[in-house]
Every structure is written in structure tokens, then in C-alpha cells.
């Protein structure tokens, strides 16, 4: 281990080795965000999922895509119709404006095609690092570790990263995770965060990486 809040390179690799053996990883049924059938609807569902529960996002996307499934079709709707459709996911007025800007950008700058690169995706209104990485991983099958709440918490508890935001965690994981772990790293970390390293009362005593975890080591010294 290194000093401070970060594991050294060998221990980072060891953590991913242990997680790869303990967690299922990417499954054959893993699909795009909210199981959407194409890149455009996947990006839209990501934008709508911000600060929304999965069930509410699903309801909002179902209602929106019953009305329109392309950038042009969404722009043909008035604001009231879009807002009414996506109301279940919250922040519906702000998200309506973001969707209009997103669709306009896709038409004017990208010939109605969703970009495949992180920079291209993040150039779209309403699309941040997390959304871009999720689309890259699930839709375009790129080897990236998308960082959600679970991945952010677990990575910083263990010492894989020492970041104060999810975006910084994502950048550190991109730099510090071994290349072979990038494809399934998101799945191992999120599964681990849901099953073992939970937010409250993490199951440290039975954790497969407690001998490497900086938080557990610090707790043991108290």
C-alpha cells in the first residue's frame, strides 16, 4: 500500500483481480441505458435519469417515446407535450429545454447520429461524463468504467481513487485501473457496492478485498 488515501499500482491490480473472481461482471443480458433499442433513445434516457429513480425514468421514457423516437420528432412536439410526458422523472421543465438543445445539436452538428467518442457525447447538451461513459460502454461496447454513486463510493473507500466527485473518480480510474479491467470494472464495482460495500453498514468482515482496503485498515487501527 501507499501512504495517504491511494493504493499502489500492484494493490489496485490485486483489488480488481479479487473483484473479478467474486463478482459476476458483465452479463449476457446487459443492455443499453434503461434497455433502450438505439443510441439516440439511450442518450435521452440518460439525460432524463439525472436525479431520478429508475422506475420514474422508465415511466418518463416510455411516455416520451410513445410520442416521438427521433430528434426531429421530439422537436416537432411543443414544450408542454414534452414536459407532460417526462414529468415522472422530475426537473421536467429543465429537462425539456435540455432535450430540445440535445436534439438540435444532433441535427445541426452530427447529422442526426449520436457521437461514439466521450468528447463528442459530452459536447451534447445535458450529457456529462457519467452519461457519456455509460453510453460508450453499453451502446458502443467500449472498455470504460462508468462511475455512478456505488462505483464512486467503493473506489474511494478502498483506495483505488481519492476523488471528491464522480467525474474525478472516473478520470482516476481511467488512469489507474489495469487495462484488462476496464471492460468489466464498472460491473464488478457496482455489484460489489450493492452486495458488500454498501453505503451503510458495509460488510467489511466478509469482504474479499478487506486486506487491501485502506478504510478497513484505518478502522482496524482505531
Residue 4 belongs to some domain of the structure:
no
Note down the domain range covering 184: 9-27+145-221
List active site positions: 130, 148
Do 39 and 132 fall into the same domain? yes
This prediction's pTM: 0.87
pLDDT tens, position by position, 155-205: 999 999 999 999 999 999 999 999 999 999 999 999 999 999 999 999 999
Of 124, 141, 152, give the one whose Cα is nearest residue 46: 124
* Three-state SS at 128: coil
Do 150 and 114 fall into the same domain? no
pLDDT tens, position by position, 31-47: 556 578 899 999 999 99
Of 122, 109, 138, give the one whose Cα is nearest residue 39: 138
Identify the pLDDT of residue 183.
93
What's the structural domain count of the chain?
A: 2
Count of alpha carbons within 13 angstroms of residue 185, beta-carbon side: 32
Do 42 and 126 fall into the same domain? yes
- Run of H or E including 56: helix 54-67
Largest CA distance in the chain: 62
Do 166 and 116 fall into the same domain? no
Q: Which residue has the cell 462505483?
A: 151
Do 195 and 161 fall into the same domain? yes
Q: What's 125's domain CATH number? A: 1.10.340.30
Do 41 and 128 fall into the same domain? yes
| Radius of gyration from C-alpha coordinates of the chain | 19
Identify the pLDDT of residue 94.
96
Amino acid at each position: 500500500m501507499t501512504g495517504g488515501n491511494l493504493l499502489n499500482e500492484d494493490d489496485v491490480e490485486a483489488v480488481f483481480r479479487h473483484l473479478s473472481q467474486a463478482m459476476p461482471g458483465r452479463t449476457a443480458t446487459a443492455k443499453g441505458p434503461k434497455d433502450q433499442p438505439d443510441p439516440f433513445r439511450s442518450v435521452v434516457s440518460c439525460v432524463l435519469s439525472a436525479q431520478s429513480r429508475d422506475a420514474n425514468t422508465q415511466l418518463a421514457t416510455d411516455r416520451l417515446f410513445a410520442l416521438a423516437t427521433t430528434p426531429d420528432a421530439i422537436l416537432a412536439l411543443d414544450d408542454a407535450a414534452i414536459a407532460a410526458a417526462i414529468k415522472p422523472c422530475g426537473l421536467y421543465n429543465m429537462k425539456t429545454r435540455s432535450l430540445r438543445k440535445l436534439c438540435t445539436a444532433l441535427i445541426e452538428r452530427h447529422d442526426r447520429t449520436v457521437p461514439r467518442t466521450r468528447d463528442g457525447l459530452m459536447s451534447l447538451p445535458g450529457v456529462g461524463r457519467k452519461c457519456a461513459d455509460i453510453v460508450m460502454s453499453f451502446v458502443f461496447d467500449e472498455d470504460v468504467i462508468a462511475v455512478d454513486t456505488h462505483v464512486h463510493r467503493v473506489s474511494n473507500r478502498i483506495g483505488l481513487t481519492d476523488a471528491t466527485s464522480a467525474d474525478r473518480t472516473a478520470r482516476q480510474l481511467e488512469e489507474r485501473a489495469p487495462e484488462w479491467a476496464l471492460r468489466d470494472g464498472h460491473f464488478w464495482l457496482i455489484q460489489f457496492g450493492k452486495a458488500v460495500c454498501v453505503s451503510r453498514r458495509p460488510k467489511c468482515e466478509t469482504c474479499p478485498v478487506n486486506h487491501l482496503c485502506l478504510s478497513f485498515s484505518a478502522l482496524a487501527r482505531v
